[in-house]
A and B are shown apart, each in its own frame.
Chain A
Amino acid sequence: MKFAFGFSLILVSISISIVNAQDFQHQLDSLSHLITTLPAKDTTTINLRNDFLKQALFANPSDSTLLKFANETLAIAEGAAYYKGILLAYERLALVFQYSFSNPYKALDYYHKGLTIAEKYPDLKSLQWGIYGGIGTIYYEQEEYDKALYYFLEVLHNNKSLALTATANIANVYGSINKVDSAIFYYQKALSNGLVESNLTYKANLYSNLSLMYEKAGEGDSAVMSAEKSLALIEANGIEFVRPTAYANASMAYLKNNDLKKAEYYALESLKLSEKQGNLFLQKSAWGTLADLYSGKKEYQKALEAQNKFSILKDSINNQNRRVEINQQQMEFDFDKERTLAKAEIERQITLKNNVLLGGGILLLATVVGFILYKKRQDVLREKKEAEFKALVSETELKALRSQINPHFIFNSLNSIADYYLKNDQNTAQEYLAKFARLMRMVLENSEHQEISLSDDLKFIELYLQVEAKRLPGKFIYKIVVDTNLDAENILVPPLLLQPFIENSIWHGFVEKDKLGYIEIEIKKEDNLLICIVDDNGIGRGQTNANNAKKSLGIAITENRLKILNNQKKTTGKLKIIDKLPDKGTRVEVSVPLETYF
């Protein structure tokens, strides 16, 4: 079963005639010889230069010297005020940008420059149809088929000598929009045109495309037959220009007839060639073919990779910017044309044109800037959304951690109560229980909030210490020291941050010792940090049996809370547990960023 990827048509559009490949190198050589011997400003030289460039371009599209050569021709023609030469030079520059640089924007720009000249000089009007063909090709490659069809039909109806290419390109467009029967009809019409016999490159290309149409129509045998006609022409005459696409089409035809070995061979060769050429459009097509092929071979991993490459290339060709720019150029040209018709004097036209160009440029700039700003805004909004989502996640995590304190604390306190009932009379037990209830309420209320005032947290700590001191009379005393320049009402802290450490001191530090325990809670400010300290004179972590093996649950929770808080607020809250000399107790320092309500 073959996957429908929505694209498998491989076409190359040649909107200009190409000479027979056998005579090609010879002609090029003699042309370049002529160019060097003739006087530079002569119109014949300019014509020759333009001819040479067109042929050299199709002999070797990746020749990097062509752009310079075309620009020189333009300069010479302008110097000689030879408008036909200027027009053709513009057209050649467009071709260079279209085929060597895959830059439709620049190409279209030059085509429009050429058209402006054709509009201005009636005797050059016949030359505009070549340019129309070029513009049609660009729209065709941009997959704007309606526009492409309009330009090609104009050429077909107005210029007999370009009828062959126009017919072929109309076939191409129909092929691209999957009107397969129309495409086959126009290809056959093109192949029956007498001119095709004098241009084997073109013939090879038409057969190649026809093969693809047959393949799409499900006529595998006809497809292979056409493909082999094309391949034969290519091999016999060394037609490099059509080779990559013809190979790709042949590959599809063979695939249709289940000749997988030949199919893969031609697809890979096609890719190799188009990569060398640096032609994005052809590479895109080749990957599309490979995607079809591998899925045909049930090698889905490879098919997926090929499809990915295909999509990436398609995006880069069709990206929104270029579309915008092409439309911009079209608008600029239309505007320019109207103005030009209205004004009689050429001098004024030129000044006006400059103004219009400037205006167009500003418009273009404004559009581009607008687009960039829009994109930036979108990015900012997206980032904001992401950040909000992350904040929500960490807030939920924190809440979960805070609520874990509850059961942990409740069970420890229940142990206290049981212990208390064993050791004390009922009424004091009642009092103790009432205090414990108040403590529980505070835990529940405080753990609801992400932050509470330091004074509320200290109230809790004080009550907690009171309750525990009552449960263990004579075991320990405590002191709470708050730096006098701290405004406890206004300072915000994560609730119940110190409780696990105080609990550890009481439960593990003192219980097994005879000497009087001492806990000091200290709150102070250092730079932009609030330092909360629990310092005891207990037996230290190393000595406690309960704490040797594993970290207490309370400490693990606190560590996690600090980690999330740090992440959330981009701060550096820290937990330090200092073992004082053996038997001298433990000191815990929790530092959190100093935050205030107001």
Chain B
Amino acid sequence: MIVAIVDDEKHCTDRMLYLLEPYREKVRVVCFNTAAEAIKGIDHIRPEIVFLDVQLVEQTGFDVLSAISFRNFSLIFTTAYEQYAIQAFKFSAIDYLLKPIESEDFENAIQKAFKKKEQDALSERLNVLQSHISEVNASKRISIYYNEGYLFLNIKDIIRFQADVNYSHIFTVDKKKYTVSKTLKYFDDLLSDSGFFRIHNSHLINLNFVHAYSKSGFVTLLDGTQLEVSVRRKDKFMKACNAL
């Protein structure tokens, strides 16, 4: 099994090599120190796992991804503190490690990669990633791990989320309902800047679908659903609606 490490800083590569030490028998490690080397090399060696640094000298890991044609690998980004990138990884359900890397986190990531789960629909997920990285105001999508595969949804087509303990139900414009194993808090954190608002412990709604709101504390969505707004969220809800 070939593992590629793309990183321009030697101490980071060294740390990665140290962490990969226990799997020495199983894997062959190839290191690339620049984006150009990586673009050339990855298509050539066709690795099964790629650790890709976000910030390379003058270029980014994203540039590498858009330049290569071979995409059948498990991708794990590594980054020190690029908030915008982290948000994009979450939207596209792409794995990432924060540097300096904790061994626990590394173990989790490499085990998932060995199971090849991370290879599923990578191209599609990379498209989602690209749309969140670029400044272009294209319609943004979200990838969510679902039914042993991935679910891709247009954010603007999601009407609302409803909590069900550690699961969330997603209701979309085409009247479909998806149940995924993520908490409502996960989506709240991810989507609160994308026009979504948590009106209740169990409800996260897309403000674009608000049809009416009665002072008694119920909001009606365009699909006819009526939901309760928590007393403590009312003021902020009104503000969020007005800001729209």
Given contacts A441-B81, A490-B201, A598-B201, contact A434 B100 (CB under 8 A): yes
A437 touches B100 (CB 8 A): yes
Task: Compute how far the CA of A596 lies from the CA of B230 in the bound complex, rounded to whole angstroms.
Answer: 11
Chain B residues, CB < 8 A from A597: 198, 201, 232-233
- Chain A positions within 8 Å of B100 at CB level: 430, 433-434, 437
Measured in the bound complex, the distance between the Cα atoms of B101 and A438 in whole Å is 9
Once the chains are docked, how many angstroms separate the CA of A490 from the CA of B183?
14
Complex Cα spacing A435 to B103, Å = 10
Contacts of A435 in B (CB 8 A): 102
Cβ-based interface call for A431 (8 A): yes
A119 within 8 A of B: no
A258 to B98, CA, bound (A): 86
Whole-angstrom CA separation of A396 from B41 in the bound complex:
50
- Distance in angstroms from A322 CB to nearest chain B CB is 41
Contact B232 A434 (CB under 8 A): no
| Bound: A597/B202 CA distance, A | 12
Q: Chain A residues with Cβ under 8 A from B185's Cβ?
A: 489
Are B201 and A438 within 8 A (Cβ)? no
Nearest CB in chain A: distance from B90 CB, A = 14
Indicate if the CB atoms of A430 and B98 lie closer than 8 Å. Answer: no
CA distance A433 to B102 in the complex (A): 9
- Cβ–Cβ contact A598 & B98, under 8 A: no
CB-CB contacts below 8 Å: A395-451 with B: 427, 430-431, 433-435, 437-438, 441
Bound complex: CA of A536 vs CA of B233, how far in Å? Answer: 38
Q: Which residues of B contact A596 (CB under 8 A)?
A: 232
Is B200 close to A, CB under 8 A?
yes
The reply on B117 being an interface residue by CB < 8 A is no
CB-CB under 8 A from B177, the residues of chain A are: none
B15 at the interface (CB under 8 A from A): yes
Instruction: Pick the residue among A427, A431, A438, A489 that contacts B98 (CB under 8 A).
Output: A438
B15 touches A598 (CB 8 A): no
Report Cα–Cα, A441/B15, bound state, in Å.
Answer: 20
The reply to whether A431 and B232 contact each other, CB–CB distance below 8 Å, is no
Hey, which chain A residues are within 8 Å of B200, CB to CB?
598
Residues in chain A near residue B15, CB distance under 8 A:
430
Contacting A at CB under 8 A, from B185-244, are: 185, 198, 200-201, 230, 232-233
The complex places the Cα of A430 from the Cα of B21 at a distance, in Å, of 15
Say how far B108's CB is from chain A's closest CB, in angstroms: 14
Q: Is the beta-carbon distance between B233 and A437 smaller than 8 angstroms?
A: no
- The interface residues of chain B lying within 8 Å CB-to-CB of A441 are 81, 98
Q: Closest residue of chain A to B106, judged by CB?
A: A434
Docked-complex contact B201 and A437, CB < 8 angstroms? no
B234 to chain A, nearest CB (A): 11
CA of A437 to CA of B185, assembled, Å? 24
Using known A-B contacts A489-B185, A596-B232, A598-B230, determine if residue A434 contacts B102 with beta carbons closer than 8 Å: yes
Q: Is the CB of B201 within 8 A of A434?
A: no
- Give Cα A431–Cα B230 distance, bound, in whole angstroms: 43
**CA of A441 to CA of B86, assembled, Å:** 13
A431/B201 in contact, CB under 8 A? no
Which residue on chain B has the smallest CB distance to residue A426? B18
Within 8 A of B (CB), among A170-208: none
Write out, one digit per residue, whether chain B residues 48-68 have a CB within 8 A of any chain A CB (1) or not (0): 000000000000000000000
Tell me the minimal C-beta distance from A450 to chain B in angstroms.
13
Residues of A within 8 A of B99 (CB): 437
Q: Which residue of A lies closest to B203 (CB)?
A: A598
- The interface bits of chain B over 10-37 (1 if a CB of A lies within 8 angstroms of the residue's CB, else 0) are 0000010010000000000000000000
Q: A434: which B residues are within 8 A, CB to CB?
A: 100-103
Closest partner residue, chain B, to A436 (CB atom):
B100
Complexed CA–CA distance, A434 and B15 (Å): 11
> With A and B bound together, what is the CA distance between A577 and B98 in angstroms?
38
**Within 8 Å CB of A438, what residues of B?**
98, 102
Q: Is the CB of B81 within 8 A of A431?
A: no
Smallest CB separation, B62 vs chain A (Å): 22
A430–B18 alpha-carbon span in the complex (Å):
11
Residues of A within 8 A of B101 (CB): 434
Chain B CB count within 10 A is highest, among A427, A433, A441, for: A441
Q: A430-B15, A437-B98, A441-B81 are in contact. Are A598 and B232 (CB under 8 A)?
A: yes
Shortest beta-carbon distance from B129 to chain A in Å: 21
Query: With A and B bound together, what is the CA distance between A557 and B201 in angstroms?
Result: 33
Q: Considering the chains assembled together, what is the distance between the CA atoms of A433 and B99 in angstroms?
A: 10
Is there contact, CB below 8 Å, between B233 and A431?
A: no
User: Within 8 Å CB of A437, what residues of B?
Assistant: 98-100
CB-CB < 8 A to A490: which residues of B? 201
Minimum C-beta distance from B28 to chain A (A): 23
A124 to B232, CA, bound (A): 74
Cβ proximity bits B151-183 to A, threshold 8 Å, 1 near / 0 not: 000000000000000000000000000000000
Contacts of B81 in A (CB 8 A): 441
- In the docked arrangement, what's the CA distance between A596 and B101, Å? 34
Task: Name the residue of chain A whose CB is nearest to the CB of B15.
Answer: A430
- Distance in Å from the Cβ of B7 to the closest Cβ of chain A? 16
Q: How far is the CB of B198 from chain A (nearest CB, A)?
A: 8
CB nearest to B86 among chain A residues: A441
* B residues in contact with A598, CB < 8 Å: 200-201, 230, 232-233
B residues in contact with A430, CB < 8 Å: 15, 18, 100
List 9 A-B pairs, Cβ < 8 Å: A427-B18, A431-B103, A434-B100, A434-B101, A434-B102, A434-B103, A438-B102, A489-B185, A598-B232
What are the nearest 7 A-B pairs in CB distance? A598-B230, A434-B102, A434-B100, A598-B201, A437-B100, A433-B100, A598-B232
**Which positions in A face B, CB cutoff 8 Å?**
427, 430-431, 433-435, 437-438, 441, 489-490, 596-598
Extra 10 A-B pairs, beta carbons < 8 Å, given A597-B233, A598-B200: A430-B15, A430-B18, A430-B100, A431-B103, A441-B81, A441-B98, A489-B185, A490-B201, A597-B201, A597-B232
